[in-house]
Chains A and B, each alone.
Chain A
Amino acid sequence: MATSVSYPTPGPGPAPVVATAGIQAPVQASLWSDAWRRLRRNRLALVSAVYLVLLVAVALIALVHTPYSYRDVGVARPYSGPSGANWFGADILGRDVLSRLMVGAQISLIVGVGTQVLVLAVGVPIGLLSGYYRGLFDTVVAFIINVFYGIPDLLVAMILLLLLGPSLNNIIIAIVATRWMDMARLVRGQTLALREREFIEAARSSGAKPAKILFGHILPNSLGPIIVQATFGVPAAILFEAFLSFLGIGVQPPTPSWGSMAADGLAAIRIAPHMVIFPSIALSLTLMAFNFLGDGLRDALDPRQKR
């Protein structure tokens, strides 16, 4: 039984825990209901899921209402700590930290989820095609993947942003450009293993079109590892943006990202630690939640589990 090991994505943030997945037998209804049952029993994953739902709610609320406008300067004395008027204090320009955290949630979710959606859109088809058809296309793709496997993605992203200029869109592009390879690699591996299986052979000989084989048979059987990889990719992307913000090429003002809020607050950490603490907690909780959820999904979808 072939095992495909997908390496944790190398990057500025710590690599997520190794996701190992076995190749399962043809999809059965019981896999998903089994998985769901196991996931429900994982308390940590449940709590994380609840937290994330709340986070999305906060992000949505921020679209219509925040205590202050996130960009209003001087609503409180700069550097002032938490108070009745400003629950999380004020930042270097006297803006309300809580309001900025709420809008920052939008940015984190957009960056995190947006990049993974694009990574899926780019990496999955390439991986499928590459693994199924082999040939020149596969050689080229494999070559690209192997070369870039050894290049730190932060460095490449920095160069890309140097050229494109920092903005939310460009950051997403830069992250996707450095991350799609991991997904393609995973999917390619899965495809390579699956295409030799009998049920694929059967489908082929019964005249099924390649598209149907790819998307109707191979893809559904690889969904588990793909979902897990994407789930781990979200916190990695959010952390990536935080690093870019620290280096000055992250999301630009007035848009607040948790990373840029923390980075800007570093200089004043000794007189106004709240400027760093609250964005950092927001980041940590969110990253932890995604990581625990990923762990839970991986365990739930692992068919080697006996329970």
Chain B
Amino acid sequence: MLTRGTLIYIGQRLVIIVFTVLVVSSIVFLGIHRLPGDALFNEHLHGTQYALILHHYGLDRPLWDQYTSFLSGLILHGNLGESLVNRGVPITPLVLREFTVSAEVGLFALVFTIGLGMTLGVVAAIRQNTWVDYVLTTTSVIGYSMPSFVIATFLLLVFAVWLDNLTQGTFYFQIGWTGRFGTIGEIWLPAFALGFPYASIVARLTRASMLEVIRQDYIRTARAKGLRETVIMVRHALRNALIPVITILGPLVIGIITGGVIIENIFGIPGLGKEFATSILNRDYNIVIGVFTAYAAMIGVANLGVDLAYVVIDPRIRY
């Protein structure tokens, strides 16, 4: 499967990703970099301090000048600049650290979404029109029809408060994030909350497409051949039912990223989403640009992953 063609394709895509990241970065940079009302605008600075600070950030140079130095800094050194609000804090390490955090939670959420969502979808399809089906369908509908901040707060209530009280402090979800990588105990609930709405969608999709596939002729043939039911389901039906799921994987990843803004806020997780929201409100344009760049990279890579997943799933697709 890892043919020369595939490798060339990956290479091409990576180039496109880099290009897209730069384009997005540039658009955001040029769009908001020196907009009025940035964090420095309101600064209460004495004497020459304002001029000095502007100079420090290079904000007193012509826009084109600033842009080229931003680009060269980004491409050559990976340097995203310095925070406008928290002086002396370089943005690249900050973004990288928070990227790790968000990526962890996001990956867990993604795996959970697809895994749980597909499992429940398959179960609901196999047990169509039974009470199992009805319960699962109803839960999934609620999942994507309720704002995620309500679901997340409710989950927090159940697992961080009630469970804690119920078990007198033995089992509960611990709020917070320690160290660089967090712990499983700190990740699972936010990941669950993040993935739940999307798992619901995946479940519905899987169910619908499984139902369609089950009716197909080749399934009947397989049954007639005497293959066991599970074998039929997994090897034949599931594989084909996967395709629509892979189709929405791209938007799914984007959804998880945006959902992260809300979830990280509620669970107090120091990730990119929370950073973005805080920086927007604090008008720290430099960080906004930096976070956006990181997101563009994440999404580009995620889309590439999705396309590669297509290759794995559907043997007809070749690059």
Q: Which residues of A contact B (CB under 8 A)?
A: 5, 7-18, 147, 150-155, 158-159, 162-163, 235, 239, 242-243, 246-248, 259, 262-263, 266, 269-270, 276, 280, 283-285, 287-288, 291
Contact = CB atoms under 8 A, between A and B. Distances in A.
Nearest to A20: B244
A12 to B, nearest CB: 5
Interface residues of B, number: 54
Contacts of B27: 147
A155 B28 CA distance: 11
B128 interface: no
A8 to B, nearest CB: 6
Contacts of A16: 201
A7 B247 contact: yes
Contact of A158 (B35, B259, B277, B299): B277
A246 B145 CA distance: 16
Nearest to A157: B258
A11 B255 contact: yes
A247 B277 contact: yes
Contact of A18 (B149, B247, B283): B247
Contact of B201 (A14, A259, A269, A276): A14
Task: Give the secondary structure class of A's interface.
Answer: helix
Contacts of B300: 150
The 5 tightest CB contacts between A and B, nearest first, are A14-B144, A10-B251, A14-B197, A10-B254, A287-B145
Contacts of B259: 12
B193 interface: no
Nearest to B254: A10
Contacts of B303: 150
A145 to B, nearest CB: 13
Nearest to B146: A284
Contact of A155 (B35, B208, B265, B292): B292
A158 B205 contact: no
Given A7-B248, A151-B24, A284-B142, A263 B296 contact: no
B90 interface: no
Nearest to A151: B24
A243 to B, nearest CB: 6
A291 B146 CA distance: 12
A171 to B, nearest CB: 15
A50 to B, nearest CB: 17
Contacts of B295: 151-152, 155
Contacts of B248: 7-8, 15, 18
A276 B153 contact: yes
Interface string B247-264: 110111011011101100
Most buried by B among A5, A10, A242, A262: A10
Contacts of A235: 145
A71 to B, nearest CB: 23
B20 A150 contact: yes
A280 B28 CA distance: 34
Contact of B204 (A17, A269, A270, A283): A17
Interface in B215-248: 244, 247-248
B51 interface: no
A83 B257 CA distance: 41
Nearest to B147: A242
A12 B173 CA distance: 25
A159 B200 contact: no
B210 interface: no
A263 B150 CA distance: 8
Contacts of B281: 248
Contact of B145 (A12, A153, A159, A283): A283
B280 A159 contact: yes
A287 B145 CA distance: 5
A5 B251 CA distance: 13
Interface string B125-166: 000000000000000011111111110010001000100000
A163 B38 CA distance: 10
18 contacts: A8-B248, A10-B250, A12-B258, A15-B251, A151-B296, A154-B258, A154-B261, A155-B295, A158-B276, A158-B280, A163-B35, A242-B147, A243-B149, A243-B261, A247-B265, A285-B145, A288-B141, A288-B145
A291 B197 CA distance: 14
